Chain A
Amino acid sequence: MNALYSLLFVFLLVLIPLFGVDAAHMRTFFGVCIPTTAFIIFLLGFVYKVITWGRSAVPFRIPTTGGQFKSFDPVLFPQNKLDCPQTGAQTFFRMVLEVFAFRSLFRNTAVSLHEGKDHPVVAYKSSKWLWLFAITFHYSFFIVALRHLRLFLEPIPFFVNGLEFVDGILQIGAPVMYLADVGLVAGVLLLLGRRLINSRINYISYASDFFPLFLILAVALSGIYMRYYAKVDVIAIKELTMGLVTFHYVVPETITVSFFVHVFLVSTLMVYFPFSKLMHFPGVFLSPTRNLPNDTRAKHHVNPWNDPKIKAHAYADYEKQFGVPMAEVGLPLDNPENGKAPEEEA
């Protein structure tokens, strides 16, 4: 049901610019106003959320340790520098691998239960599917986004051209098919399929888990449609996009409606982003179990709200309470008076 609602909602989103541009002729509204507003909301929402996180304290250092810590004897007990970092540099590399290689996800295993010969067996095997789907999706999305820089920059930076060359290296079809386009669609479909088919994952999925997938799929498909089927006027589009970044707004008449659909979907994604789970993107950098070195026993760290008024139960009170039996068994006392039994009442 959650998936169906999300799908319907994305259809609805496609209809809005279709009618808005074709029937209502709101070209400037959909070409300039909506994307600009969306970008501002994206930026402000993103920054606001990250600042909110940043304002929360990190009272304790609780890195997850995935290997041997730094020992007193580095030869006898070699430290696992990446999974149990002790310095800033080691932590940095842990984060690089986390962000660029999805290292924790790479570790994923799947559990299964079996009837053994005479007793049950719990088995674990490496399970890299999710890692593969996720990395296909994210890298494709990243490359596609970078490629779009050609529309917003003049001259086009060398790396964007290089990226396009590599991305289209198979030279299939005309215009040349981009690998990242295929990867993005495949990645989304695989992640979607997993959510739909795997009963356990389906059980934990909300509409807010399906919606971004359908939305990104729609973004990708509309982009592909523009490029390969509608063959939109790219020169005119660049005129519009350059206008957006230089604040000289123009909406050339030769741009067709498929472009507006694409832009509207992207705008929706931008607006949705800061208020959704998509914030895992900046969040991974701020996760205190990963971005801190495991050095709490070696170095002092400060908890900003540590309460100095909280003190241990005083030893003096302890001795007052138990002094007499302590004295009887010969335990030393700070105050010998505590060891004297109270005078018995006559």
Chain B
Amino acid sequence: MSDIPKADELFKSIDYNPPATGWMDTPVDFSPGNWCYPAKPEKMEYMESKLPGLWGPAREWNPGEADWKLPSNWKEIVVNGFRERLKKFRTLQVFMDICVRCGACADKCHFFIGSGDPKNMPVLRAELMRSVYRGEFTVAGKILSKLTGSRVMEEDVLKEWFIYFYQCTQCRRCSLYCPYGIDTAEMTMMARELMHLVGLNTNWIMEPVSNCNITGNHLGIQPHAFKDIVDFMVDDIEEVTGKRVKAPLNEKGHEILFITPSGDVFADPGIYTFMGYLMLFDEIGLDYTMSTYASEGGNFGSFTNNETMKKLNAKMYAEAERLGCKWILGGECGHMWRVVHQYMDTMTGDTQWSGMTTPKSPITGTVFETSAATKMLHITEFTADLMKHNKLKLDPSRNDHLRVTFHDSCNPARGMGLLDEPRYVIKNVCNNFFEMPVGTTREQTFCCAGGSGLNTDEIMEIRLRGGLPRGNALRYVQEKHGVNTMACICAIDRATLIPLADYWAPGVTITGTHELVANALIMEGESERTMDLRQEPLPGFEDAEDDWTPPNMEDA
């Protein structure tokens, strides 16, 4: 990260005036930092063995070099794949035809706001595909060529796709403002499917995909290691609360299967959110189990192609059946919920076993008809219902050292419409809650700039640029209200917002919503709490912990 400019330098470098050359004549910058590393060949070979014909040739290649080692018939593959998808997706077909280039989407994209690169305007990002559509599939485009924005598929075009469709986080903010609802996320997904067909991919997507298939989670945590980590967290909970909570894994005969993104198992600050789930479930005596086999909610397949998305999603129902669970509770995760909400039942609903029922809270008796088809409930819906029925004893003052704002994660916000439940949960456990400025929250929320498989360090400058709108809104509430904590309901957020906040609003910590819940939760028979889940002293107990070093500082 050493060569990344300082925040104010980066800000000054943003120029919204387009270059003098037309977009088709403006060359693409292939210098390192502008692209994600390609997948390791063994990851591609593995996926080719599981879903043949979708991945192109496994090989070592480098986007910075001229020869990308494409298959000799790459053009035929891409054009045929394009034609096939026009039939399979009305979205693609309609969105290719109806854009009027009014530009309403242009300054809605966080990558454009932070970079000024015109190809990051959603309209132009989509034109990268539309120009080929017109040139290859329409009569008018074939005759009139460049004048009407048409061109044929060439290697340079494909390379341009690689750069810019891996500079879209599929956050769908542009779609909200488009007069026709043109969804760039949908086009990014299609373009990525096509690129995968000829072996253009990134390791940060392919490795998680292959890991998810083998070990059940994207980090490749094997079952015994998964159990070890969970046991460590149970120990830590005991340290904080004096209570030893249950953390059932792979157990049959429970009512509920709980699935969360594996990012919550792996790293700060997700682990505290995970501890929050465990404490909550233990406190209410929930009859549930987790699974090491279905230990990933995040569906990295949705960043590759439909087939992989389906394959990875299918394990949720498969595991519910094997363990005999009646319904599934889902943790705080972004793209997992986009897939669960919009795709799951259509893709894999037929693999549900007959014992599944519409989610019903065993504590409050509330039946969640809104998830009658998928049988899958979002944890903030579940917890909000508990709070509404006063089933939890809470002490919000334990979070009094936190001044909290909430980051609407794009997928639950614009892909589901889940806006009020997490706020309700947070307000029940925190006394100091502040909204970021209007226009940057709820359905207009700004992306963390690391979604859809872009959460990788080699493109850090691009991510920080894309993080400008979110970071700036955060900085605003930091200054105005002294906000020091940003809560979210997405594991990718919990990973990517940290460098973003460090850069644009230093001093703000990132937390999951259920970490806040667990801090406030008064558990039956717990010992007096003097520290929060991060084992930092609670307000009023600062002195008692004077000689204690936080575990993550020991090596420093």
Contacts and interface: CB of A to CB of B under 8 A. Distances in A.
B255 interface: no
Nearest to B17: A199
Given A275-B139, A277-B100, A312-B315, A290 B385 contact: no
Contacts of B362: none
B310 A58 contact: no
B347 A306 contact: yes
Interface string A52-88: 1111111111101111111111001100100110000
B374 to A, nearest CB: 5
Nearest to A76: B388
B181 A104 contact: yes
Nearest to A65: B417
B140 A289 contact: no
Interface residues of A, number: 100
A122 B176 CA distance: 20
B342 to A, nearest CB: 5
B322 A334 contact: yes
B324 to A, nearest CB: 12
A203 B11 contact: no
A110 B177 CA distance: 11
Given A61-B342, A312-B314, A289 B183 contact: yes
B182 to A, nearest CB: 7
Contacts of B94: 53, 56, 283, 286-288
Contacts of A202: 18
Contacts of A60: 342-343, 346-347
Contact of B113 (A2, A72, A104, A111): A111
A306 B440 CA distance: 37
Nearest to B375: A297
Contact of A207 (B147, B344, B419): B147
B420 A277 contact: no
Interface in A291-309: 294, 296-303, 305-308
Contacts of A284: 98, 179-181
Contacts of A228: none
A107 B90 contact: no
A142 to B, nearest CB: 16
Chain A binding site: helix, strand, loop or mixed by DSSP?
loop
A134 B181 CA distance: 16
A279 interface: yes
B118 interface: yes
A76 B384 contact: yes
Contacts of B250: 326, 331-332
B63 interface: no
A262 to B, nearest CB: 25
A300 B311 contact: no
Interface in A101-129: 102, 104-105, 107-111, 113, 119-122, 124
B276 interface: no
Interface string B348-389: 011100000000000000111111111010000100110010
Q: How large is the interface on B (under 10, 10 to 19, 20 to 34, 35 or more residues)?
A: 35 or more
B175 A64 contact: yes
A289 B175 contact: yes
B93 interface: yes
Nearest to A311: B314
Interface stretch (B67-75, B120-128, B534-542): B120-128
B87 A310 contact: no
A54 B87 CA distance: 10
A307 B345 CA distance: 14
Contacts of A326: 223-224, 250, 292
B104 interface: yes
A293 B120 CA distance: 30
A205 interface: yes
Contact of A200 (B18, B99, B139, B149): B18
A9 to B, nearest CB: 10
Contact of A76 (B350, B413, B424): B424
Contacts of A59: 88-89, 306, 346
A206 B124 CA distance: 12
Contact of A208 (B148, B182, B372): B148
Given A275-B138, A334-B322, A280 B98 contact: yes
Interface in B305-323: 306-307, 310-312, 314-315, 317-319, 322
Given A60-B343, A299-B373, A77 B420 contact: yes
B416 to A, nearest CB: 6
A158 interface: no
Contacts of B543: none
B23 A203 contact: yes
Contact of B14 (A49, A113, A286, A334): A113
A207 B351 CA distance: 51
Contacts of B310: 306-307, 310
A283 B180 contact: yes
Contact of B86 (A56, A68, A83, A330): A56
B97 A56 contact: no
Contact of B124 (A58, A104, A204): A204
Of B7, B251, B415, which is in contact with the most chain A CB atoms at under 10 Å from its CB?
B415
B18 A305 contact: no
A211 B123 CA distance: 19
Contact of A109 (B23, B121, B421, B439): B439
B343 to A, nearest CB: 5
B1 interface: no
A83 B414 CA distance: 10
Contact of B369 (A72, A120, A279, A322): A72
Interface string B334-348: 000000111111110
A84 B51 CA distance: 36
Contact of B181 (A54, A290, A307): A290
Contacts of A229: none
A275 B97 CA distance: 9
Interface in B151-182: 172, 175-182
B227 A331 contact: yes
Interface stretch (B33-41, B467-475, B524-532, B547-555): B467-475
A65 B14 contact: no
B55 interface: no
B97 A312 contact: no
B212 to A, nearest CB: 9
A98 B180 CA distance: 8
B342 A80 contact: no
19 contacts: A5-B147, A54-B90, A59-B89, A72-B369, A122-B472, A200-B18, A204-B23, A204-B123, A206-B148, A277-B101, A288-B181, A296-B343, A296-B344, A297-B416, A299-B373, A310-B307, A312-B311, A315-B318, A330-B227
5 interchain residue pairs of minimum CB distance: A69-B417, A283-B98, A65-B417, A312-B314, A289-B181
Given A53-B93, A207-B147, A284-B180, 20 more contacts: A55-B87, A65-B417, A67-B443, A68-B417, A69-B417, A104-B180, A109-B107, A111-B469, A119-B7, A120-B472, A121-B476, A122-B469, A122-B473, A198-B103, A204-B118, A204-B121, A277-B100, A294-B417, A296-B346, A296-B374
